[in-house]
Structure 1
Amino acid sequence: MTQAEATHVPVIVVGGGQAGLSTSYWLKQRGIEHLVFEKSYACHVWETARWDTFCLVTPNWQCDLPGHPYDGPDPDGFMKKDEIVAYVREFARKVAPPIREGVTVTRAARRPEGGFAVTTTDGLYSCDEIVVASGGYVDPVIPRMAEKLPSAVMQIQSEAYRNPAQLPEGAVLVVGSGQSGAQIAEDLHLAGRKVHLAVGPAPRCARFYRGRDVVAWLADMDYYKITVETHPLLEGVRDNTNHYVTGRDGGRDIDLRRFANDGMELYGALDDFVGGALTFRPGLKASLDAADRTYNSINAAIDKYIAENGVDAPPPSIYEPVWEPAQERLSLDLAGSGITSVVWCIGFTPNFRWLDAPVFNGAGRPVHKRGLTGVPGVSFIGLPWLNTWGSGRFGAVGADAAHIVEAIAARLAGADEGLLAAE
């Protein structure tokens, strides 16, 4: 089939997760013909790339996909993995998108005559508008130093971790202390496994403070309405690491210092593997202290809000460290430690290599304003801090999708008016 024989559809959405389905929802509301391409199946990540005890870190009442707000029995709770899967499956059923599952988009490029040529594993297509909904967390990050580790040591990335039983007997090294790393380290720790944790610069926050979930306080303070353009860090906020906390067992803090008191071994960031020894960078104390400063600063902001608004709440408190590293260990003999497995939790990168359009900066990131790029017809949805903190989550992705679809509808209407005028 030649490109001239390609199937034309006004809008193509690449990615069938909650971002792509939210876009499809609003396109259907406006009666705009479109197709959604998904390389696996709709919202598969929640089922195939999360561990068994995974749960949301934000309360259920924040789940507000378009036409599908959370209406379960526990709005202040935190949905577990099977509940999340059921929630997104029901959303997909409601949306009933025109989706091509099991189809990968391998290339999309602008056509000289306008619009885009889209190559897929299901054939050739063309479109006037393309919405990139493949997300910001696609390719797992694993450092090249991993190649140095003995083959006898099992290595997996966080998306492949399911439960402690899948790992061989022995100690486990968890690399990274962001949301996934901290929660996986806790999962292993609670199962009685010996855990060594390489700690990074991720911040933390309290689960509950002064009688309420911290998320509820921040919502009252309009924090979730702050946009990239009004945030003090501006676009720099997109580089921020999410705070580690958990919704497990009804929700609680994750305090790495308490883990250390209970026998977990903490180190600075993993640096290399040389001569049979893992080496770590100095900075464990600095990372722990910085995380605690963030924890206390968020609570202090809540204290200020309570005082200024005369809210009746329990008294304030300040977190005091329950453990300090007496001396940072900068190396660890691998064989002597009994470590038999490594779980890499140092993040993901997006994959936009298939998109041939001048919408990226020197770092390979899309340049956009709330998902709309400088190239008419190319939009992004579902990225962290696309517009607000909730842009990559169930809470605000629907509003972002509505904004993008409004712009698409206006462009398509303009194109139609132009054709009518020409006639």
Structure 2
Amino acid sequence: MSQAASKIPGQASEPRHYSVIIVGGGQAGLSMSYCLRRAGIDHLVIEKHTVTHTWRTQRWDAFCLVTPNWQCALPGYPYSGDDPHGFMKKDEIIDYLDGFIRMVDAPVLEHTEVRHVRPRPQGGFAVSTSAGEFSAGQVVVASGGYHAPIVPRMAERLPASIVQMQSSEYRNPQALPDGAVLVVGSGQSGAQIAEDLHLAGRKVVLAVGEAPRCARFYRGRDVVDWLADMKYYDMPVTEHPLREGVRDNTNHYVTGRDGGRDIDLRRFAAEGMELYGVLDDFRDGLLRFAPNLMQSLDDADATYNRINASIDKFIVERGIEAGEPGVYEPVWTPPAERTELDPLEAGIGSVIWCIGFRPDFSWLDAPVFNGRGYPAHSRGVTGQAGLYFLGLPWLHTWGSGRFSGIARDAEYLAALIAAHGTAGALAA
């Protein structure tokens, strides 16, 4: 549903007012719309592209969820398929989202860029967009935290013959030129893309980062099921041992591919994948790596075993009958730390940068950001009256940035917005 700023003939253009404007039409923005509509609060969702655009355009062909389908619990729209413990593939995820979009039927202004949001002296907010001027009593920022792909400046110096792309641009092994593929980063995207290439028979060189890993199944169940029973996914950030520091953590790598399994980089290495430490630089024709591969693999395995040990403890305390416990033992160990590689000599034809994204809230003119450009908030509520965030990692719990936790966060903010309700009307 497309809407634009209203104009009165013969008078200066006046911004069209809404009680709430939601910036971003992904699962977070649509969840917010669902909750506001149920509360009877008028609002508008403004989306730069089309709703749920990222899911359709920034995922590779073999992408699938790493969390089981039962955790797909958008507000009013829980997973209803016949495989709750499976892992939806890309097309199935899009089908699920399409159903949610139809159910919510949000008032959306698509293909519209929000260029400037600022508090107004009389209260509420001025919202400037590529489609005109709006005003709002309250604003919910639901555009996520992954905006600008990170590609280091060293990329400019790589040989012109090497094709480079960011993880969001990768689609499948066949779309890459011949030759080995350097994958930089081993978080969820890097590890899964490296696996996708490896399974296709491509030669992979993986620059391993400091991401942790976890088991897919342990003692007869998905680890996610165990952690859910242990109430880990209900733990608020204020009770996490790292407190707000957990928001900076890299996600554990694991996969739901082919019914779900571990991602074991050591096993990949034993099968021919080349592992190096963190990529530090490209200088004098050589890729330069930190000598930290062994430490990164050991740390990832320690996290893997630590999570399993916490499950063991829970099983003992509750007297649960389960499969036998176990400890992961390395299947491969680096014979030495290798710190240099000539990419041309190694036959590298392409590089995939899988080192994340930076947030870009430059359009939001409000004093709510810390020194690193991240919003300071408590459960999405900022120090600026009427300004909220939704859909960020660990906004409140582990699931805040995922399908599993957005409903709880959106319902909480909707209640606060309703309580704050008359401010928008008075400011209009």
Report the TM-score when normalising by structure 2. 0.96
Q: Look up the match of 2:200.
A: 191
Q: Look up the match of 2:256.
A: 247
Structure 1: tracts of 5 or more residues without a match: none
Q: Look up the match of 1:172.
A: 181
Q: Distance in 2 between matches of 1:52 and 1:397?
A: 25
Give the residue type in structure 2 aligned to 1:405.
Answer: A
Q: Distance in 2 between matches of 1:108 and 1:24?
A: 19
Q: Look up the match of 2:210.
A: 201
DSSP-derived class of the 2:420 partner: helix
Give the residue type in structure 2 aligned to 1:207.
Answer: R
- The 5 Å alignment of 1:19-38 reads 19-38=28-47
Distance 1:409 1:4, change over 3 A: farther
Q: Look up the match of 1:76.
A: 85
* 8 A Cα contact 2:19 2:424, kept in partner: no
Q: Distance in 2 between matches of 1:173 and 1:364?
A: 30
Cα deviation, residue 3, structure 1: 8.8
Q: Does 1:322 align with 2:349?
A: no
* 8 A Cα contact 2:123 2:423, kept in partner: no
Q: Look up the match of 2:292.
A: 283
Give the residue type in structure 1 aligned to 2:46.
Answer: F
> Deviation string for 1:188-212 (max 9, x for gaps)?
0000000000000000000000000
Distance 1:4 1:371, change over 3 A: farther
Q: Distance in 1 between matches of 2:199 and 2:101?
A: 35
- The 5 Å alignment of 1:17-416 reads 17-413=26-422
Give the residue type in structure 2 aligned to 1:291.
Answer: A
Cα deviation, residue 294, structure 1: 0.2
* 8 A Cα contact 2:138 2:417, kept in partner: yes
* 8 A Cα contact 1:11 1:129, kept in partner: yes
- Answer with 405-414 or 115-124: which moved more: 405-414
DSSP-derived class of the 1:61 partner: helix
Q: Distance in 2 between matches of 1:346 and 1:334?
A: 19
* 8 A Cα contact 1:3 1:124, kept in partner: no
DSSP-derived class of the 2:287 partner: strand
Cα deviation, residue 413, structure 1: 3.7
DSSP-derived class of the 1:356 partner: coil
* 8 A Cα contact 1:206 1:245, kept in partner: yes
Give the residue type in structure 1 aligned to 2:251.
Answer: N
* 8 A Cα contact 1:8 1:125, kept in partner: yes
Give the residue type in structure 2 aligned to 1:407.
Answer: L
Distance 1:176 1:392, change over 3 A: same
* 8 A Cα contact 1:38 1:101, kept in partner: yes
Structure 2: tracts of 5 or more residues without a match: 1-6
Distance 1:112 1:210, change over 3 A: same
Percent of matched pairs sharing the same residue: 64
Cα RMSD for the two superposed structures: 1.3
Distance 1:406 1:257, change over 3 A: same
Q: Distance in 1 between matches of 2:341 and 2:143?
A: 39
Q: Distance in 1 between matches of 2:422 and 2:120?
A: 20
After the TM superposition, which parts of structure 1 deviate over 3 Å for at least 4 consecutive aligned residues? 1-4, 413-416
DSSP-derived class of the 1:334 partner: coil
Q: Distance in 1 between matches of 2:58 and 2:250?
A: 20
Report the TM-score when normalising by structure 1. 0.97
> Deviation string for 1:35-85 (max 9, x for gaps)?
000011110111110000000000000110001000011000000000000
Distance 1:32 1:3, change over 3 A: farther
